[in-house]
Structures are given as structure tokens and as C-alpha cells.
Amino acid sequence: MFFGGDYNPEQWPEQSWPDDVARMREAGVNLVTVGVFSWALLEPAEGRYEFGWLDRILDLLADGGIGVDLATATASPPPWLSVAYPDSLPVDADGHRLWPGSRQAYCPSSPRYRTASVRLARTLAERYGGHRALRMWHVGNEYGCHVPRCYCDVSAEAFRTWLRERYDLAALNETWGTRFWSQEYTSFDQVLPPRRTPAFSNPTQVLDFARFSSAELLDCYRGERDVLRELTPDVPVTTNFMAGMHWEMDYWAWAAEVDLVSNDHYIRVHDPHGHVNLAFSADVTRGLAGGEPWLLMEHSTSAVNWQPRNVPKTPGQMRRNSLTHVARGSEGALFFQWRASKAGAEKYHSALLPHAGTDSRIWREVVELGSDLGKLAEVTGSVVSSTVAIVLSWESVWAQERPSQPSADMTATDELAAWHAALWRLGITVDFVAPGADISGYRVVMLPSLYLLSGVDRDVLARYVESGGTLVVGAYSGVVDERDHIVLDGYPGALREVLGVRMEEFVPLLDGQTITLSDGSAGRVWREFGRVTTAEVIAAYADGEDAWSRWLAGHPAITRNTRGDGTAWYVSTRLDPPSLERLLGRITGEAGVAGSGVPLELVRRSHADGRTYLFAINHDEEGAVPLDVAGVDLLTGADFPGEVPPGGVVVIKVVTP
């Protein structure tokens, strides 16, 4: 199991480096990410390199037996680059240039940035490709974290090139629906990124620009990745995603380009269910890894510095967080960063070695976690398997979460998290899959809100149901095609037949309004007015607070359709959490999927040879929870059946009868 984090030795005097390495060994650290923000030191002037300090720290780490995830250092261009090439700086939708002085101040389409970053990656690979500390390459850092989209003239030209590869002018006009509001283009030269407009921007232009922007940054990554593969074909290449936290990159496309999927996750302290969001992020990441193991590249030992109020983690919370990621498929736990900075923008961000030094709670917990991870070596390579899948599409999120929709509240990201959370509470582990993926092995497939659906992907869902699957579709799914054009003749156009419903109107609720359904469920945010064609009504709209409630009463709210050998459910409102949990519990139960039945987070990892590890996480910091599973806790050696201590984690090597 990997244990460690970002190590930025350049922030500290060189005399302290041997002490860092000694402390790392004491804590059981075995992998550190070096050089993420070191461009300015490595290349202080264009084409002039200073590698001495990096040579020395890599040697020290190698001598200490600590592996290195070596960054290509291209996440933050040095000041000289933008002075020499001002058009390498990004520009926002208002036309404001973003200046150096923080990080990521580059335009993804800038040839200057791309040439300079690939040259640095090549120089690093030539120098360190054979270094004994090198374990993997870390390209860039959190692509798109601060500048996912650039609207400058260079980007505009690149956007036009991208469009020309996909459309002729007639097809562009047709796809973007430019007949509306007099937007017809008569030459590609007239086409711009969706800069700030007087009224709503053209939605398909915005969608295509989101696709383009994700692809541009992916090209930046690929440019560096290609030289690394050329020079060091045996060294895996990764870049850290922000799955489940940032939504601007189409990570399905990105995941296909990395050798190892890695992810960063930070708990938001204002979220009382931060640990459920953690599970969401980890499960999405596992989906990106195609079910294979992945790596938690960053999280925090305690407080971060970028939220309005940065509450430290409670004692034991870091351990629960780390081991939850491992439970859900991570091959270890890495952190930002090794040693808390004393200067700079992130000096209040926690680290493995805090400002207080080794005589501290955090350090003691870090050492304990290192020891725990050391006991889980045999878990590496095992996988999590599930019989329930959620379909997730970044493109659909982009299309849906735009202005000028029926309701600004009907957000896909909230719906995805809510359905995942309901399954989490039921104790059902869920996989995330892309639209069009092979879903034939799942007992239940869910689309919490998948607004944009192509005909091809629709057909995959229909075949799945016909051959016996259970499909559960949430409101505002299948409404538009991949061009963001409405599928006509009743909602939800693409899914009307498989669901056996025909909806005529969306009837959103005002802020705070609730409704009740005939089965006692409660809903918010969204309703639909229509009828069933072939489906049966499981729950009808019953009551509410506005004039529409009367007209909707008795009309279908939750429906079930039998088609071929399978079943397709439709949920036309946003159910409140207990109602959603009840409904999904019923549907999964009928499909033969059992929940955990205990107030513990339970996740299994198994090897192909059958060896199975049950991770049990107790989020109750006050009470122990009994667990009736036969085996031995790898962390303590305790025999089970037994108890999971308050706030504790056990990893039971399960004895199979």
C-alpha cells in the first residue's frame, strides 16, 4: 500500500532534508510526489536548467527506500514564461487576463505553454528516467482546477479548428440551432468561444466549448505523456483527477489516457455527510479505473485552507477517511502535503508533519496510519465488485447545469450524490459507468438524472431491460440528444418507450415547497404532468402547497414498466432522502440485491482466488457496533465476530466456510 504525499523540499533548507527522510521512514512513508510546483526552480530561465537540488533529494529518498512519483512540474509556469509570452496567460469569459502570482496561469491552447511544458517533461525524463527512486510520472496537477476554460484569441482559433474537424458550416449551424436569435454563421471566422453575452449564450455552443476545453487540457497532458512513454516505456504515467468534486473535465476520456487512475478528494466541512461524499468520489474514481485498483493521490490529514471555515479533522477521522478510500479500491493513501508550509498561500493547510512538529496529535495519527497500511499489503490488487451501477456523464452534467432550464434547482450533480447516498445508507456498494458501457452484468442500473442521452446509448439501456435488467430512471433524463436538442413528442423523449410513460409538461416546485405522493413519499424541486402508456402507476401525485397540486393529483409520479424480460422504473420528482432510500431499497431488494443491514460502512475487496477482505467503518464516534462476520482483523489481529470500536475501522480477512 502506498503511503505518503506531495513533498516540496524546495520550501525548506537543504540541511533539513535528511531529517525529512528519517521522519518519513519512521512513519512508514513509501511514496512521495516531488516537483509538482518546481518549474521556476528547475528552469530559472528559458532552456537553462538547475537540477542539482533535485538530484540530491532524489538520491536521499532512494537511499531511504522511498519511492518517487516524479512530477513534470508543469502545473504552474514560472514568471519568466508569461513575461516572454504574454499570450500564454489565460483569459476569462469577460475578457480579463489572469495574471501570474498564484498557479496554473496558462492558456491550455497556448503553443508557447505546450512547447515549454513538453520540453521540460522531456528534459526531466532524459535525466531521471532511470533514477532508482522513480516509481511513476505525475503529469501536471489537477488539470482544470483553476482554469478549465480559456476564452482568449488563441483559444478561439483552436476552438474553430476543433469545430472544423467535426462540422462543415451547415452542420455547425444546424447543430447549434443558430436560426434562433439570428446567430447563423456564414464563415468559421465569425465563431467565438462563448464569451460573456448580453442574454443566454447558445447552449450547444457552450456544450461544445466545454467538450473542446476538456479535450484541450487532455491534449496538454497527452503531449507530455507521449514523451514520457517514448523515453520511459516501463514507468506508469498518471495525473490526479478531482472526480466527484470538480465537474469540468470529461474524466471518461481522461481515464483512457492514464496508466494508473489517481484522484484527489477533500472533505467539505460544512457537509454533515462529508464521508458519504468521500465514498461517492472514491466510487466514481473506481469506475474511471474500470473497476481496477486506483490511487488516492491527495487528501488531507486535517484542516484545509481554502474553505471559509477550516475545521480540523477529529481524532480518528483521517484514519477512517484513508481506509475508506482503500476499501473502495485505492492502493494506499497519499496526502497534500508532507510538511506544513511556513510561507505561501497554503500555510494553513494541514500536512503529515504539522507546524507543531512530531510532538503532536496529527503526527501520532500519521504514524499509526502508516503502520495500519503496512498491514494491508495482501489487500493490494484485490477489487471491489458490485451488482448495481449508476450511469454518469460529464457531458450531460454540462448540458443540464446551465441557465434557462425549467428549474435551476434540478441539478444532475445533486441528484447523482443523492442516489449514491441513498444506496450508501442501504449498505449497497455501487459502481459508476459511462453511457453506452456494457451493463449486462448488473442487476440494477440507475440514471439519477441523465439529461443528455444519445440514441445509441438509449438503445443499450433498452436492450438491457429487454434482456431482464432492472432500470431505474430519475426525473429530467433522456430529454435531449447529444446536440442538446429536445427529443420531441413527449418527455422523456429518448426513454419514453422503455419507461412506458408520456409526459407533457415539467412543473417545478418553488424553493422550499414540498409535495406528497399516494404512497406517503415526499418530493421537492420537480414534478411532471403526463400519463402512463404501458407502465403501471406505483405512486401518484397526491398533495402539495400550490395550485398545480390539485391538477396533478392522481397523475403518475412513480411508475414501473415491464418490457421484454425486464423492468423499467421512472421517478418523475426529486424524492426526499428517506423516500428515495425506501424506493431504491425496494427496487434493489426485488432484484435480489441485499443491503448490509448494519449501521456500518461495509465494503468488500476480493482477489480472483477468492481471498476476501471486509472493510467495516464505524462513523459513530461514541458507540461500538457488533459485526457478525467470521475472520480476523488484519489491523489488530482480533478475531471476529466481534465489535467495531467507536469511530474505528476493521479490515477482516474473511474466513469462507
Residues lying near ligand GLA in the complex (CB under 6 A): 141-142, 264, 266, 298, 304, 336, 346, 349
- In Å, what is the CA distance from 533 to each residue of 130, 141, 618? 66, 50, 46
- Find where cell 502506498 sits: 2
Q: How far is the CB of 351 from ligand GLA (least distance, A)?
A: 10
Q: Are 549 and 573 in contact (CB under 8 A)?
A: no
Helices (H), 189-261: 203-231, 251-255
Which among 300, 294, 317 has a CA at the least distance from the CA of 241? 294
- Residue reference for cell 527512486: 133
Measured CA angle at 526 (ends 546, 400), to 5 deg: 145
26 in catalytic set: no
| Residue 141 C-beta: closest distance to ligand GLA, Å | 5
- Cβ proximity to ligand GLA: between 242 and 430 the closer is 242
Q: How far is the CB of 340 from ligand GLA (least distance, A)?
A: 12
Helix (H) or strand (E) holding 123: helix 111-128
Q: Please, which residue, 352 or 651, has the CB nearer to ligand GLA? A: 352
Q: Tell me which amino acid residue 294 is.
A: W
Question: 3-state class of 14 per DSSP?
Answer: helix
Q: What are the backbone dihedrals phi and psi of residue 195, each rounded to the nearest 5 degrees, phi first?
A: -70, 170
Of the candidates 142, 224, 248, 331, the residue annotated as catalytic is 142
Q: How far apart, in whole angstroms, are the C-alpha atoms of residue 184 and residue 553?
A: 44
Cell numbers linked to 27 = 512513519
For residue 303, the minimal CB distance to ligand GLA (Å) is: 10
Spatial separation of the C-alpha atoms in residues 5 and 229, rounded to whole Å: 24
102 or 562: whose CB is closer to ligand GLA? Answer: 102
Spatial contact of 279 and 424, defined as CB atoms under 8 Å apart = yes
Q: Please report, as a single letter, which amino acid is at residue 546.
A: D
Query: Cβ of residue 332: shortest distance to ligand GLA, in angstroms?
Result: 16
Q: How many CB atoms lie within 10 A of CB 274?
A: 16
The CB-of-349 to ligand GLA minimum distance in angstroms stands at 5
Q: Which three cell numbers stand for residue 342?
A: 511556513
Rounded Cα–Cα distance for residues 397 and 172 (Å): 22
Q: Report the distance separating Cα 410 and Cα 527, nearest Å.
A: 10
Catalytic residue among 43, 216, 298, 395: 298
Nearer to ligand GLA, 6 or 20 (CB): 6
Q: Closer to ligand GLA at the Cβ: 13 or 180?
A: 180
Cell of 656: 469462507
Active site includes 528?
no
Contact 342, 293 (CB under 8 A): no
* Phi-psi category of residue 222: left, alpha or beta, with phi > 0 → left and psi -120 to 50 → alpha: alpha
Shortest Å, Cβ 143 to ligand GLA: 10
Report the SS3 class of residue 151: coil
Q: Which is nearer to ligand GLA, 140 or 469 (CB)?
A: 140
Q: How far apart are CA 581 and CA 61, in angstroms?
A: 49
CA distances (Å), origin 56, targets 10, 49, 59, 71, 420: 11, 15, 5, 16, 47
Q: How far is the CB of 218 from ligand GLA (least distance, A)?
A: 18
Closer of 250 and 264 to ligand GLA (Cβ):
264
166 vs 154: CA distance, rounded Å? 19
Nearer to ligand GLA, 142 or 395 (CB): 142
The span from the CA of 298 to the CA of 310, in Å, is: 17
Nearest residue (CB) to ligand GLA, 145 versus 651: 145
Least distance CB 404 / ligand GLA (angstroms): 10
> What's the angle, vertex CA 72, arms to CA 127 and CA 212, rounded to 5?
140
Which CB atom, from 297 or from 515, has the smaller least distance to ligand GLA? 297
Q: To the nearest whole angstrom, how small is the minimum distance from the Cβ of residue 515 to ligand GLA?
A: 26
Contact 264, 297 (CB under 8 A): yes
Quote the CA–CA distance of 265 and 277 in Å, as a whole number. Answer: 9
Catalytic residues: 142, 298
